[in-house]
Amino acid sequence: MSAPPADPPTWSGRSVPRAEDPAIIRGWGSYVADIAARDRGVMYARFVRSTIASGRIISVTVPPDVVAFTASDLVGVQPIRAVLHRPDFVDVATPILAEDVVRFVGDPIVLVLARTEAEAEDAAERVTVELEPLPAVLSADEALADGAPLVHDSVPADHPNAPNTVVDGRIATPGAEEAFRRADHVVAVRVSSGRQSAMPLEARAAHAAYDRGTGRSTLHATLQMPHVTRTGIADCLGIAEDDLRVVSPDVGGGFGAKMALAREDVALVWASRHLRRDLAWIETREENFLAAWHSREQVYDVEGAFTAEGELLALRGDLICDVGAYCCYPVTWAVEPLMALAELPGPYKVSEYDVRSRAITTNKCPIAPYRGVSRPMQVLAMERLLDVAAEEIGIDRVSIRDINLVSEFPHRAPTGLVLDLASHRETLATAAQLADLDDFEARRAAAREEGRYLGIGFSCFAERTGYGTPAFAARSRPFGADGTKKSLITPGFERVVLTMDPSGGVTLRIGASPHGQGLKTTLAQVVCDELGLDPSQVRVIASDTDATPYGWGSFASRAMVIAGGASMLAAQDLADRLRTLAADRLGGLPGDVELSGGHARLRGGDATVPIAVLARDTYHSSHLIPDKGEPALESVGLYDPSGTFANACHLAEVEVDPLTGNVTINRFLVAEDAGRLINPAIVDGQIHGGVVQGIANALFEELVYDDRGVLVTTSLMDFLPPTILEVPDIEVAHVYTISPASVTGAKGVGEGGTIGAPAAIANAISDALRPFGVGVFHLPATPHRIRTAIREGRDLQLNRHSSVTEVTA
Amino acid sequence: MSSSNTTPCRLYVNGDRYDIDVEPRRTLADALRDDCGLTGTHLGCEHGVCGACTVLLDGQPVRACLMFAVQAEGSSVRTVEGLAPDDVTLHPVQQAFWDNHGLQCGFCTPGFLTLIAGYLEEHPDAEENELREVLSSNLCRCTGYQNIIKATLAAQKLLNGKQTEPGGVQEPA
């Protein structure tokens, strides 16, 4: 562990208590359902959803006293459409309500309205939908089989992709084949994961208000991208963006699942405008499992070409992502396979590469980003590969990583990705040292004497963060085949507007949209370092399209890097202006003015002036400063980086009970490098929460469909998030690399915990099960699966070519 | 809702009396939120697993989503809004959560605060293992529970009149 950088005392680097907390801990937060509860005239919405995986809608019968709408009522409403201009991309439309056919269990068909939630539920039960079943495809293998039914029959017959293949990307270097030919060892693994839900504790919710006077709608919804949501809804409804204000108030967790545009939100705004009244929709937990986006269901076949010394020469792979029935907006169903294609090598040096990565559509709930997107699977593949290779080659698990980790920067991967300054080897060394491997081996041996099985597992990864416009632009050509740019959505700059009012108080308006990350606190810290103010003097305004500049919201570990960078740049601009004003008043040069403690002072002298006085005079005595610019103190910060990489090494120590298959995590350690930490407590909080979601992926949580495509895990009694009793104490050690790729030096840390933990745990369980000759290649590694693996002496692995996700061992 | 389906119900919440008309099927959680305007009690699953809706009924933590409002008649209900003595002072559990970064999105927080406040008031000397067992009643999706147990132990010290360890969080000098 290195020490934090020894900088002058600043607000950044301190665990400042969060400004967000006081209201929330008193119960004074304002989540969407709270806004609905305060609206006395509101009507509640309920959606009648498909109960079958694939079928034709024969009829919808609505009792005369029930207010209900179907697709045929939504005259002129456009479907949701998000595209990339790539020859291998299949573009399909998502209707707001299912039109002629349903494509998954949970597909919304009818919108029902009533005065209370309970009455809406009653009314929805009295609506009868007659469905004629059609053949369904319930797995990627089924979807790819000859003669498979088509999930979308709208795809042009001359499209180059195989049926049901909606993205088919490949990156190959010329020397890959040769590298495999001359390799001393070729090691192959197949890794896979079941479906998982992001499961924010607050399910989706929306409140659509209509103002008869202005004809304007206001949507309060639980969102990560309010501006993009406004664009999406305005496009669907054919209204000007200005006719819709979107506000994301307190948000009860997002984790990616609240990025994608909800069909239900579009329907609600449409119905509210149609009826000219306020409507609310509070999603139930069951609906959230059925229809609010799934994640993770992927199968990666990966081969590595190694030298006799364990050097990884080349990677070959076939990556399959089951993306469900529809294409999510705005990042599209290419997000999983293309991220995997570009980032699979992670922190490892690989010179030759030949990987194909596909998205396959199936009759299941659509996939959308969930914390880490496809990176937990990429890391699972690479880290299982390295452990298997280490065993085959006969070198230790730390060495095989150490010799292959990137140590010279910038490093250009064969995928074109450029890794910026990082500490891959240092974080591995830190974790290995803290793991005390000799001591572990002694304990392992002692445990074996008692019939207990201990294992230890590492995982190293590079967490790409702060994806700006260049990163997203690389996914698509700028124009479509017909020369159009239609619908191409390319995130990710951030703009902020920083205003100092006449009292010297500061307002920072941001396009990012925090939902639990404490961003209002951390951005205030960044701004105060530049302006010499106290964070209590900074109000951060976010998540309201009427009050903030257009931005891309909060996702992909981007907010601290990009919005933080924009805030720093804006604050530096404003600080320059204040120094000029102060220099004029104090009789010095701007470069000699220091801003601190709410005062401007000339370096080396006693002359000071309160910043509040400068602010007051700028507005109220502007005639006295004619040559110093306009009578306002305002700056705009724009930041659009190409991205940076945080990195970490996770270490898990587990005990597996071979009798029950139960796994206990005895130790979990994270050696993390997120660059400059603006607020260490918040950083550690992100790591803790992320790791526990990764533990959930590794051991507990799975969305299970039956052989007819009906989701059977629709409650928290079937889908099992960990409680405090299932999680260990999480140790965090920091390494600090200040990369020029981020102006604040912060690297982003939102997803790393979730990315690295599954692989570390899979490696640790496999290590513990070594006496039984079996390893873990499919997650979650449930007790039943582990028992079966031990009993049958076969790896815990996904069986392909079956009609549903069937895991055997 | 037609008034013929409703029944008068008197609730005592946070020391205030609420005379409301509710359907017999109305849950205590909905009555608190919609009829009493106390929206600090959150609904995360409405089937009694997540615990976000935990309130204290005569001092005992209960799931407000699993009770009907009429079942709470005559009982004293305490919600998250009723933990702090006034608008200036925080309850020790609230203070400890703030000091120890015990919340992120905050949606589960009211349920944890009431659960912990209720339990510590009855079991001031509970051991850490016992407190972990109690905390396993509720789900949090953000924090990984690390700072929730830390905050709980800090709250226990505050409640028992002991000084907390210097700073889970650090104020600038």
ipTM computed for the complex: 0.96
Asked if residue A522 belongs to a domain, the reply is: yes
| Shortest distance, CA A492 to any CA of chain B (angstroms) | 23
CATH 1.10.150.120, chain B: domain bounds: 92-170
Other Cβ atoms less than 10 A from the Cβ of A600: the count is 28
Burial of B46 per CB tally in 10 Å (0-12, 13-18, 19+) = buried
Q: In this structure, which CATH number among 3.30.450.40, 3.30.1330.10, 3.10.20.30, 3.40.50.300 belongs to the domain B7-80?
A: 3.10.20.30
For residue A679, give the DSSP letter.
Answer: S
Question: Considering only residues 452 to 471 of chain A, which have any Cβ-Cβ distance to chain B shorter than 8 Å?
Answer: none
Question: Model pTM greater than 0.90?
Answer: yes
Q: Which residues of B touch A524 (CB under 8 A)?
A: none
Q: Which residues pair with A458 in a beta bridge?
A: A651
Beta-carbon separation of A723 and B139 below 8 A: yes
Q: Among A237, A289, A242, A89, which residue's Cα sits nearest to residue A717?
A: A289
Mean pLDDT of A566-594: 95
**Helix A519-531 / helix A564-586 crossing angle, nearest 10 deg:** 30
Q: Which residues of A touch B23 (CB under 8 A)?
A: 118
| Shortest distance, CA A251 to any CA of chain B (angstroms) | 6
**CB nearest B40 (choices: A20, A28, A685):** A28
Note the residue count of chain A: 809
B2-11, pLDDT tens digit by residue? 446 899 999 9
Strand order in the sheet with A608-610: A593-596, A599-602, A608-610
Question: Considering only residues 655 to 694 of chain A, which have any Cβ-Cβ distance to chain B shorter than 8 Å?
Answer: 681-682, 684-685, 688-693
CA distance B85 to A70: 50
* Chain A CA closest to residue B108: A201
Domain that holds residue A550: 21-27+493-639
Beta-carbon separation of A717 and B133 below 8 A: no
Beta-carbon separation of A516 and B142 below 8 A: yes
| Shortest distance, CA B74 to any CA of chain A (angstroms) | 24
A150-162, pLDDT tens digit by residue? 999 998 889 999 9
Residues of chain A above pLDDT 90, percent: 91
**Model confidence at A649: pLDDT above 60:** yes
Q: Which residues of A touch B168 (CB under 8 A)?
A: 15, 681
CA distance A312 to A183: 9
CA distance A674 to A421: 11
CATH 3.10.20.30, chain B: domain bounds: 7-80
**Model confidence at A730: pLDDT above 60:** yes
Mean pLDDT of A695-712: 98
Beta-carbon separation of B144 and A753 below 8 A: yes
Question: Considering only residues 635 to 654 of chain A, which have any Cβ-Cβ distance to chain B shorter than 8 Å?
Answer: none
3-state class of B13 per DSSP? strand
**CB nearest B81 (choices: A27, A255, A691):** A27
| Shortest distance, CA B99 to any CA of chain A (angstroms) | 6
In this prediction, residue A623 carries a pLDDT of 86
Ordered DSSP codes for A373-404: TTHHHHHHHHHHHHHHHHHHHT--HHHHHHHH
Mean pLDDT of A795-800: 82
Q: Which residues of A touch B42 (CB under 8 A)?
A: 31, 33, 201-202, 252
Block residue for tokens 């990082």: A422
Mean pLDDT of A527-538: 96
Q: What is the mean pLDDT of chain A?
A: 95
Judge whether A255 is closer than 8 Å to chain B, CB to CB. yes
| Shortest distance, CA A401 to any CA of chain B (angstroms) | 28
**CB nearest A685 (choices: B34, B104, B113):** B104
Q: Among A423, A171, A417, A181, which residue's Cα sits nearest to residue A313?
A: A181
Judged by phi (left if over 0) then psi (alpha if -120 to 50, else beta), residue A31 lies in: beta
Give the model's confidence band at A714: pLDDT under 50 very low, under 70 low, under 90 confident, else very high.
Answer: very high
In this prediction, residue A157 carries a pLDDT of 86
**Model confidence at A305: pLDDT above 60:** yes
Buried b (16+ CB within 10 A) or exposed e, A145-155: eeebbebbeeb
Phi, psi values for residue A732, rounded to 5°: -125, 125
Other Cβ atoms less than 10 A from the Cβ of A802: the count is 15
**Model confidence at A498: pLDDT above 60:** yes
The H-assigned helical ranges of B31-167 are 92-99, 109-122, 128-135, 146-159
In this prediction, residue A260 carries a pLDDT of 97
Mean pLDDT of A425-450: 96
Name the superfamily (CATH) of residues B92-170: [2Fe-2S]-binding domain (1.10.150.120)
**CB nearest A724 (choices: B40, B81, B136):** B136
Beta-carbon separation of B142 and A253 below 8 A: yes
**Model confidence at B163: pLDDT above 60:** no
CA distance A529 to A744: 11
CB-defined contacts A:B, below 8 A: 195
CA distance A258 to A197: 12
**CB nearest A253 (choices: B98, B105, B110):** B105
In this prediction, residue B167 carries a pLDDT of 43
Burial of A771 per CB tally in 10 Å (0-12, 13-18, 19+) = exposed
Q: Which residues of B touch A693 (CB under 8 A)?
A: 141, 144
Mean pLDDT of A458-482: 88
Contact A425, A402 (CB under 8 A): yes
Structurally, how many domains does chain A consist of? Answer: 1
Contacts of A216 (CB under 8 A, 6+ apart): A210, A242, A243, A244, A245
Q: Which residues of A touch B113 (CB under 8 A)?
A: 25
**Model confidence at A809: pLDDT above 60:** no
Q: Which residues of B touch A519 (CB under 8 A)?
A: none
Q: Which residues of A touch B34 (CB under 8 A)?
A: 37
Asked if residue A430 belongs to a domain, the reply is: no
A747-784, pLDDT tens digit by residue? 999 999 999 999 999 999 999 999 999 999 999 999 99
- Which domain CATH number covers A501? 3.30.365.10
Buried b (16+ CB within 10 A) or exposed e, A82-110: bbbbbebbbbbebbbbbeebbbbbbbbbb
**Model confidence at A256: pLDDT above 90:** yes
Other Cβ atoms less than 10 A from the Cβ of B17: the count is 8
Beta-carbon separation of B1 and A116 below 8 A: yes
